[in-house]
Structure 1
Amino acid sequence: MKFIKKSLKVILVLIVLIVVGGWLYSRTYQPDYSGELELNNLSDEVTVYFDEVGVPHIEAQNQQDAYTALGYVHAQDRLWQMELIRRIASGRLSEIFGKDLLQTDVFFSGLGIEEAAEKTMATLDKNSQPYLLTEAYLNGINQYINEGKTPIEFSLVGVEKENYTIKDVYNVFGYMAFSFAVAHKTDPLLTEIKEKLGEAYLNEIMTTDVSDLTINKYETKEIKGELSAAVSKLMDKLPVSTFIGSNSWVIAPEKTKNGKVLFANDPHIGFSQPSVWYENHIKTPDFEIYGFNIALMPFPLLGHNREYAYGLTMLANDDLNFYVEENNGDNENQYKTSEGYKDYELLSKTIKIKDEADTTFTVKVSKHGPIMNGLISHMNDDRPIAMHWLYTQLNNEQLHVSYEMSHAKSLMKFRDAVAKIHAPGLNVMYGDAKGNIAWFASAKLYQLRDSLSSKLYLDGSSGNDEITEFLPFNENPQAVNPSWNYVYSANNQPDSVRGKLYPGYYQPQDRAKRISTLLNKKNDFTKEDVQNMIYDVQSATVSDIANDLLHYVDQQNLTASQKKAISILENWNGDYQKTAIAPTIYNRFLYEVLAATYKDELGGSFELFVNSQLQDQALPIQINRENSIWWDNVKTASKKESRAEIITSSFLDTFAFLENQLGENVDNWLWKRVISLEHEHAIGKAGGVLRSIFNVGPFETIGGNEVINNQIFKLDSTGVYKITAGPSTRRVIDFSDIENSSAILPTGQSGNVFSEHYKDQAQKFVDGEFVKMSLNETEIKKSANVLVLQPKD
């Protein structure tokens, strides 16, 4: 008995020591939110006030000092995130995660992002403010790397810290630009449909009903006051967020209760931990901005101050094309052009792999871009396919653009800045204290010869499929102070260019239609109205789609429970609440219909198609197309299926699946039982204890695909909807009460797992709550956490 008691005491002591040791370790590795530190390259003292959610309010005597401080505090909260994102474009993820990410590294390192960065850096004006402030920002990061605490992730994966350079900044620009692009997923798929199935199948997929589009209208007035699934799989492996969509709207004074502009923006990005944006506030005697920065980007892509606000959504124009090259039969290192054969540029690349030998490969580059066959090991095409991407083909001014957006002194100066954007294409939104509102489709739009589709592979050898002209920015779709008194974007089709709708990969009209419907209803909007609107989960289209589907269900032999399920769908208003039943039925029904219609022809490409904007746009037309080549199941050679047969059997399969998954009682088929949100950390993906430590969630939530509170998930055979993306922040800026404007992040401000701000906004985000974005100096200086940065002697 004494032995047992002694053993228990020893165990208890060990437990206490482990708990205390863990607590001391966590306290040691927390970010410094208060106290004094000395930094190099400061000309004067900088004070950083951390508010209740960990946002740094940086007060400095000059911008050089302010950006040095920003780099330091950004690094202490997000260094691990910086490390991951800087490694993507250069193909260095395998170095820390091993051979599972080798193909991802090969792909990204071959895209030409690094080469484009080097070309841009060679022409940079090193005396310009954007360059000098970027160097100050990087200097702050590097001082933290060299003198600050090492994040635990570095120790867990065994990676050494390295200083950052401006090339890393441009690599992040390149990664962001590529993740915005859509053509790399859809063009190979459409070409595959055309070449393997034929023109008839392609034409039905590509048909668009223009009358069923909500279009961003073009109007300018006076200014007031002055490769398909392979690529998709590689992208899915990335340990950081990908950029997807977004909502934004700006309401003119004529439609607001207080007679001032109201601004809203919620960019849709892949959920991860930490979340993508780092919130910060800089104030100097000659400058102020409250911004949201991506890791390693010194200047915010979203921001506001007392004078103006700006934000963005994805334009989804086509800035990436694929060209089929023709090799010289006598020399595989040459390709055919209209001017004769030319040599491929050959680039040697080496990838370091954790616990493995390095691998070296060669990238072939034609005048159109890198040959993709060598970058994707499982690409089933013998023809050399070159990727022509405007981001790497044209002059890159992104650093100056982001600087000028955050330093603009007028709407005209702001417009001049966004006119320099070449890729990725962005809808840039603007509102100001003088009452101006604006939307700019910012991208280098171009023309091909008539009748040529940029959504299919182009001929690289003839010279006939080249870009014929880049459009001047004043021809881009845009709206400045329009007569309808609001501007908005939900990644939907922009207005005509030169008499035709400009081609792209636009999202269906669901969110755009809902936003415009709500904006047209009132002329006395308040900040609270906009906050409610940005959290809205009623779809503008799904109830119509559901009823169109149900019209073709043969109901003669249905059971009472089956008829109840149909009644629930028939009476659905499109709302995605936690306790709603209709979304559960609808999303399974939708999957079954799509599988029965397309899977027999598309095979392995079906999962990509079913979760693409191609499917979203084709669906409403397909349902109402009585005679379609897609209805017939090609695997039943002796029978030709009809629309009614496909939709009826899909409903019966839906009901049987949900009975098995959720039970026989239809009343228990609640939406919250099949949908969930978890913010995954790169290390938390390993599962087990690491998941519980690093991941945030899971949470029950409201919302679904293509509602304003866009909770994006993939349709698949499982019937379980794991949300992968959504609002990366929600911002509402009220120029009648600018000091009480509000925002929210999906998890928290810090990426340091030991910080109290690692996940302190997560439940508020799910519940639709907001946190103040304070500009009030008196309030800010009442902060309990103050960090003073002194110049080092």
Structure 2
Amino acid sequence: MNRLTRISLIIFGIIVILAAALAITAVVMVRRPFPQTDGTLTIPALQDEVNVFYDEFGIPQIYAKNEHDLFVAQGYIHAQDRFWQMEFWRHTGMGRISEITGPPGLEFDRFIRTVGWNRMAAQNIAYYESEAPELMDVLHAYSEGVNAYIADHGDQASLNFTILGLVNEPWEIEPWEPIHTAAWGLAMAHDLGGNYGAELDRARLITELGEATTDTLLPGYPYNNRPVIVPSSELNIDGVKSSLNNGHAVVDWQNVNLNLVGNVPADGFAFGNGPGIGSNNWVVSGEHTDTGMPLLANDMHLSIQMPSIWYEIGLHAPGWEVSGFSFAGVPGIISGHNDHIAWGLTNVGPDVQDLFIEKINPVNPLQYEFLGEWRDIELVEEVIKVNGAEDEVLNVHLTHHGPIMNDVVDAGKDVLSMQWTALETTRIFQAVILLNQAENYDDFKDALQYWDVPAQNIVYADIEGNIAYQTPGFIPIRANGDGLTPVPGWTGEYEWEGWIPYEEMPALLNPEQGYIATANHAVVDEDYPYLIKIDWANGDRAQRIEDMLKAAIDSGEVTKADFAKIHFDSKSLMGETFVPHFANLSSDDPTVQAAIERIRGWDLQDRRDSVPAALFEIFYMQLVQVVLADDVGPDFVRDAHSTIFFHAMAAEADARWWDNQNTSTKETREEVMLQALELTIAWFEENVGGDMNDWTWGTIHMATFDSDPLGSSGVGLIEAIVNRGPFPVDGSGSIVNATSWSWSNPAEVRAIPSMRAIVDLSNFDDSLAVNPTGQSGHPYHPHYDDMIPLWQNGEYHAWPFSSDMVKETAVSHLTLQPTP
């Protein structure tokens, strides 16, 4: 062997050793934060031994001998799997995102701190300390568990910490406190209960188009052909005076500053944003099921993310037998069942925010007008710490309505303040803990009187065979106005006068039809005496669920298989509206004609392998643009688009909206549809290529599970570590299988069924559930993404509940013990 060869071998050997060392280091860094799921761990805060049994998907069932230890253990177990998620969420809830991300988080922190989530969280904790000390005991015990994990792991709790530490300065991992849990409730209330953005959009449309045109394009709920949850005939509201007020205030919009301080992420802070955010739930009485006992289903539609927003867990201790879906960072179960009752949630989305136009004193910008007098503005100084940069001081201006939301407060233009139910003291976590322990319908009703924000459609079933529904929450009674646009704040005409009384809120118990279904559609009809909201979801999902439930009931006994079929149904009712009109279309272009024929033969299911589903979805996007752009301008098409309007207009062949105002000829419905289809073909040729057989829905309708904030870092290697996907999926917006997408990026999925559950009240061990991603928040852990195939294909995992079944299906057993 010559000298050159020896040198080459030595260099090669060094490279191999270095590569091996790097690989070992990488493996160690990846695996270091993985949770311990068997053996024994010592947690000083415990009073007695706790046993935790994990199933094949890493779902823990905690068995404790007292309530304190139960929540210490839940805090620790949550942190083991999801501490990075908890860390980022608490910084979000407190308006401290910039402490992690640096300047990119500033816009979000400015918004959060202006609204005051941090101040509101402190206010709620003060209430709990004074009025609900038993809840504070739960919050403190949970915090002790999280802090035991922090003490053991610190900044080694997640690979995300390690990666961020390479580009940003490290930040202090603080002890977990009850206020961090309370702040998360406000993030949820914002994403699920905010309509201030819709008020601004409508105000801009009125400025551009006028009130009459705006009201035409954005009609109210179609009560004539879509269901309501609780008809007024089912309510005891005789003699209740109507508080409904219609019409918009007369406003000089040119003199109103419509630009708000800070910003909100396009997909919300965690739960999502826009029409994709919603949910389905339904419950069927035992008189119609194969078991003779109720079945209850739930699937909540929230922003797509990695890991899933939900964490499945079971909690067992004296006085506690409950299992279901929890938030990492929050004690208890949000949706699920105990040994007596089951419940599921969808968002009501009531109008609980109003923007008030405030006049600023021209000689003193720290005063605003109310009832002819100048009132002092309260100033609050918020200091935002920024990773790698100087602190920012934010001066928040408070009125009696709420914070002024503009970044410039002077006498140049009128400004906007925001009144929001969540600015009041709210008690959602008190409701959650009481609901977890409820044993019957009366307990359920009593618990929900504390569910102040965000208001939910909550369906119920119990082991006595009852089914029920309740709307809880603070919903304002307005002196005037319909809540659709900002209103004058200086006149006193539009003040809030209190809340809809809980006993007069919509509710059902054992309705004659034997089922209850909710899908963010109208809770009540037009005879209900209070305003809950005007712009309900379009009712398509609700109609389809009710149609399928009625068909299942008519065909015999309803089963869990029927429920699963509904969960994964992808029928497009918008397709059902427009496809008949394709019978009148024809084209000399063979590609366009082929598309027409494909859509004519479509089964209306948005399945990933369907070509006509893809063609129709993009066709509808193009149709809306073609129909509206000439009337409202290209910049306002999305704000002016309403599926309710297009459902109705499809049948109106002579509607003026079909005609293009920019041409000398009068276009027909069929001509406009043909034009939209031609644009659809061009879109596929440009964005997909190949021939039409390649244009399946799954080719473009893909779900990528993004991790915050690294998943959108723009660095491909980092995104590949923390994200998973893309995966082709069925469904679309306004469909029961609600995998919604935005026209700004067709047809990438932005909101999904964030869980699916079927609860069998005849035997809880026969219940089924699925989480979209997995239990773990640690990249490359086996449970980081192991549920994705189940979720993608409409399948479920078993959901054991009884002690015997939990132990029978357990694959590991962890013992938590106090300090000897």
TM superposition score category, shorter chain reference: over 0.9
The aligned counterpart of 1:71 is 75
2:590 corresponds, among 535, 552, 560, to 560
| Equivalent residues, number | 776
Deviation at 1:785, TM superposition (A): 1.8
**Partner SS for 1:792:** coil
The aligned counterpart of 2:402 is 369
Aligned ranges 1:114-125 → 2 under 5 Å? 114-125=118-129
The aligned counterpart of 2:647 is 620
Summarize deviations over 1:690-722 as a string: whole Å, max 9, x none: 122111121122211122111111123x5x311
**Structure 1 residues not aligned, in runs of 5+:** none
Aligned ranges 1:411-426 → 2 under 5 Å? 411-426=441-456
The aligned counterpart of 1:259 is 292
**Structure 2 residues not aligned, in runs of 5+:** 165-169, 237-256
Summarize deviations over 1:557-577 as a string: whole Å, max 9, x none: 532332221122233232011
2:697 corresponds, among 656, 667, 671, to 671
Task: Give yes or no for contact 2:188–2:271 (8 Å, CA) kept in 1.
Answer: no
Task: Give yes or no for contact 1:241–1:272 (8 Å, CA) kept in 2.
Answer: no
Summarize deviations over 1:77-131 as a string: whole Å, max 9, x none: 1111111111123221112112122111101111122222222222324663211
Q: TM-score, normalised by structure 1?
A: 0.92
**Partner SS for 1:705:** coil
Deviation at 1:197, TM superposition (A): 1.7
Task: Give yes or no for contact 1:30–1:754 (8 Å, CA) kept in 2.
Answer: no
Hey, what's the Cα distance between the residues in 2 that align with 1:382 and 1:12? Answer: 68
Change (3 A) 1:780 1:661: same
Aligned ranges 1:686-701 → 2 under 5 Å? 686=713, 687-701=715-729
**Partner SS for 2:469:** strand
Hey, what's the Cα distance between the residues in 2 that align with 1:234 and 1:351? Answer: 16
Change (3 A) 1:330 1:643: farther
Structure 1 residue 215 and structure 2 residue 218: aligned? no
Change (3 A) 1:469 1:237: closer
Hey, what's the Cα distance between the residues in 2 that align with 1:529 and 1:232? Answer: 46
Which deviates more, 464-473 or 177-186? 464-473
The aligned counterpart of 2:344 is 311
Aligned ranges 1:75-474 → 2 under 5 Å? 75-125=79-129, 128-148=133-153, 149-157=156-164, 158-208=170-220, 209-218=222-231, 234-236=264-266, 240-242=270-272, 244-338=277-371, 340-374=373-407, 382-392=413-423, 394-449=424-479, 452-474=481-503
Change (3 A) 1:657 1:231: farther
**Partner SS for 1:124:** helix
Deviation at 1:313, TM superposition (A): 0.4
Structure 1 residue 740 and structure 2 residue 759: aligned? no
The aligned counterpart of 1:708 is 736
The aligned counterpart of 1:32 is 36
Structure 1 residue 23 and structure 2 residue 35: aligned? no
Task: Give yes or no for contact 2:370–2:489 (8 Å, CA) kept in 1.
Answer: yes
Summarize deviations over 1:412-455 as a string: whole Å, max 9, x none: 111121133232121011111111111112222333346x2210
**Partner SS for 1:110:** helix
Change (3 A) 1:688 1:382: same
Which amino acid in 2 is paired with 1:674? I
RMSD: 2.7
Which amino acid in 2 is paired with 1:61? K
Change (3 A) 1:229 1:571: farther
Which deviates more, 415-424 or 722-731? 415-424
Hey, what's the Cα distance between the residues in 2 that align with 1:516 and 1:665? Answer: 38
Change (3 A) 1:252 1:86: same
Hey, what's the Cα distance between the residues in 1 that align with 2:104 and 2:27? Answer: 34
The aligned counterpart of 1:547 is 580
Change (3 A) 1:593 1:309: same
Which amino acid in 1 is paired with 2:331? P
**Partner SS for 2:742:** coil
Hey, what's the Cα distance between the residues in 1 that align with 2:749 and 2:260? Answer: 22
Hey, what's the Cα distance between the residues in 1 that align with 2:534 and 2:333? Answer: 26
Hey, what's the Cα distance between the residues in 2 that align with 1:396 and 1:680? Answer: 31
Which amino acid in 2 is paired with 1:574? L
Which amino acid in 2 is paired with 1:128? P
Deviation at 1:518, TM superposition (A): 0.6
**Partner SS for 1:254:** helix
Which deviates more, 63-72 or 440-449? 440-449
The aligned counterpart of 2:792 is 766
Task: Give yes or no for contact 2:773–2:788 (8 Å, CA) kept in 1.
Answer: yes
Summarize deviations over 1:167-206 as a string: whole Å, max 9, x none: 1111111110000024122111111111222123212123
Which deviates more, 600-609 or 538-547? 600-609
The aligned counterpart of 1:787 is 814
**Partner SS for 1:357:** coil
Hey, what's the Cα distance between the residues in 1 that align with 2:548 and 2:282? Answer: 11
Task: Give yes or no for contact 2:478–2:496 (8 Å, CA) kept in 1.
Answer: yes
Deviation at 1:68, TM superposition (A): 0.3
Deviation at 1:471, TM superposition (A): 1.9
Task: Give yes or no for contact 1:78–1:750 (8 Å, CA) kept in 2.
Answer: yes
Q: TM-score, normalised by structure 2?
A: 0.89
**Partner SS for 1:297:** coil
The aligned counterpart of 2:254 is none
Hey, what's the Cα distance between the residues in 2 that align with 1:207 and 1:242? Answer: 24
Which amino acid in 2 is paired with 1:201? T
Deviation at 1:40, TM superposition (A): 2.0
Change (3 A) 1:600 1:186: farther
Which amino acid in 2 is paired with 1:155? T
Deviation at 1:156, TM superposition (A): 2.3
Deviation at 1:605, TM superposition (A): 5.0
Which deviates more, 139-148 or 754-763? 754-763
Summarize deviations over 1:282-330 as a string: whole Å, max 9, x none: 1113321103111321122112123111121000111111111111222
Hey, what's the Cα distance between the residues in 1 that align with 2:80 and 2:601? Answer: 52
Summarize deviations over 1:110-167 as a string: whole Å, max 9, x none: 1122222222222324663211011100110011111235222223223331112111
Structure 1 residue 606 and structure 2 residue 639: aligned? no
Hey, what's the Cα distance between the residues in 2 that align with 1:449 and 1:299? Answer: 38
**Partner SS for 1:708:** coil
Task: Give yes or no for contact 2:279–2:299 (8 Å, CA) kept in 1.
Answer: yes
Hey, what's the Cα distance between the residues in 2 that align with 1:270 and 1:533? Answer: 21
Deviation at 1:403, TM superposition (A): 0.9
Task: Give yes or no for contact 1:185–1:228 (8 Å, CA) kept in 2.
Answer: no
Hey, what's the Cα distance between the residues in 2 that align with 1:287 and 1:417? Answer: 15
Hey, what's the Cα distance between the residues in 1 that align with 2:198 and 2:100? Answer: 31
Hey, what's the Cα distance between the residues in 1 that align with 2:736 and 2:537? Answer: 13
Which amino acid in 2 is paired with 1:661? N
**Partner SS for 2:740:** coil
Change (3 A) 1:333 1:744: same
Deviation at 1:638, TM superposition (A): 7.0
Which amino acid in 2 is paired with 1:649? Q
Change (3 A) 1:596 1:602: same
